[in-house]
Amino acid sequence: MFTAINEYIHRFASFSPQEVALFNSLLEHRTVPKKTFLLQEGEVCRFEAFISKGCIRSYYVDEHGAEITLQFAIENWWVSDIASFHENKPSRMFIETLEDCELLILHPDTKESLLRQAPCFERMFRLMVQRNLSRLQERLFQTIATSAEEKYLDFLQRYPTIPQRAPQHQIASFLGFSPEFLSKVRTRLSKK
């Protein structure tokens, strides 16, 4: 149950067996069916969830009711609204499972307890968030600088499993254009 997450944390830093044991002991294991909301707009996010199995989407809803997908999270990724989690404030996001999921969960108090008992995890979380930040910078750049077609092709490379796991209109909302246009881009590409 913990092999994946233990491999994961060792990619960022080294930990003693005791530290790993402490970490594992603080994780809550949870099984969640598909189409379940882990978080809805207005709620405070009380988890950071590591996905051992399954696929989860986080998204915003804009003033016209349109969805904008922030993230497709799959195996070996974390999902949370960190701003809401850390500042204890209502979230603007929805987080919903796309498949049946196996999660390993940290709560605000268990995370604090972990960091108090084993401060070396601060480093791991810092490096994790840093990596996230640079990826998001790249994505913003791409959102502004490239055409819908390029974005879609790049998406297929980067997230090869998502097209089988999420409907197209959600992918369009991740890439930043309308589902109809994604459909047109796809037919255009398949004619080449």
Partner DNA sequence: GTAATTTCTTGAACTAGTTCAATGTCCAGG
Partner DNA sequence: CCTGGACATTGAACTAGTTCAAGAAATTAC
Binding site for its own copies (CB under 8 A): 60, 62-63, 66, 68, 70, 82-83, 86, 115, 119-120, 122-123, 125-127, 129-134, 136-137, 139-141, 143-146, 176
**Cα–Cα distances in angstroms (integers) from residue 67 to residues 76, 184, 186, in the given order:** 25, 20, 21
Which one of its own copies, DNA, none interacts with residue 122, CB within 5 to 8 A by kind? Answer: its own copies
**Cα–Cα distances in angstroms (integers) from residue 153 to residues 50, 69, 174, 187, in the given order:** 27, 17, 13, 13
Sign of CA dihedral 161, 171, 151, 133: negative
Tell me which residues touch DNA (CB under 7 A). Answer: 147-149, 167-169, 176-184, 186-187
Spatial contact of 47 and 101, defined as CB atoms under 8 Å apart: no
Q: How far is the CB of 31 from its own copies (least distance, A)?
A: 28
Which one of DNA, its own copies, none interacts with residue 126, CB within 5 to 8 A by kind? Answer: its own copies
Of 5 and 45, the one with the shorter C-beta distance to its own copies is 45
Of 145 and 190, the one with the shorter C-beta distance to its own copies is 145
Which one of its own copies, DNA, none interacts with residue 141, CB within 5 to 8 A by kind? Answer: its own copies
Which one of its own copies, DNA, none interacts with residue 20, CB within 5 to 8 A by kind? Answer: none
Which one of its own copies, DNA, none interacts with residue 115, CB within 5 to 8 A by kind? Answer: its own copies
**φ/ψ (deg, to 5) at 36:** -110, 135
Helix, strand, coil: what percent of the chain each, to 5? 50, 20, 30
Spatial contact of 132 and 73, defined as CB atoms under 8 Å apart: no
Q: How far is the CB of 135 from DNA (least distance, A)?
A: 21
Secondary element (H or E) of residue 169: helix 168-175
Of 30 and 126, the one with the shorter C-beta distance to its own copies is 126
